[in-house]
Amino acid sequence: MYTSGFLLFIGIFGLAFWVLIFLSAFALPYALTIYVIEALKGKKSDQVDI
């Protein structure tokens, strides 16, 4: 009984760990890069319009 609960805990912890690794290594830097690129494009287009 306790072994199955412990294995379930380790499984959920492992999945959460890999989700955090994915977010910190790929998703967050990707989103920040896209945001910065779009912000720079916006500033360039504002300067051209003036």
Considering the entire predicted model, what is its pTM? 0.65
CA atoms within 13 A on the CB side of 48: 6
18 in a structural domain: no
Which residue segment(s) compose the domain that 50 sits in? 23-50
For residue 42, what pLDDT band results from cuts at 50, 70 and 90? confident
The encoded tokens of residue 24 equal: 């910190």
Looking at residues 3-28, what average pLDDT do you find? 96
27 in a structural domain: yes
36 in a structural domain: yes
Residue-wise pLDDT for 8-19, tens only, equals 999 999 999 999
8-to-3, 12, 17, 19, 26 alpha-carbon distances in Å: 9, 6, 14, 17, 27
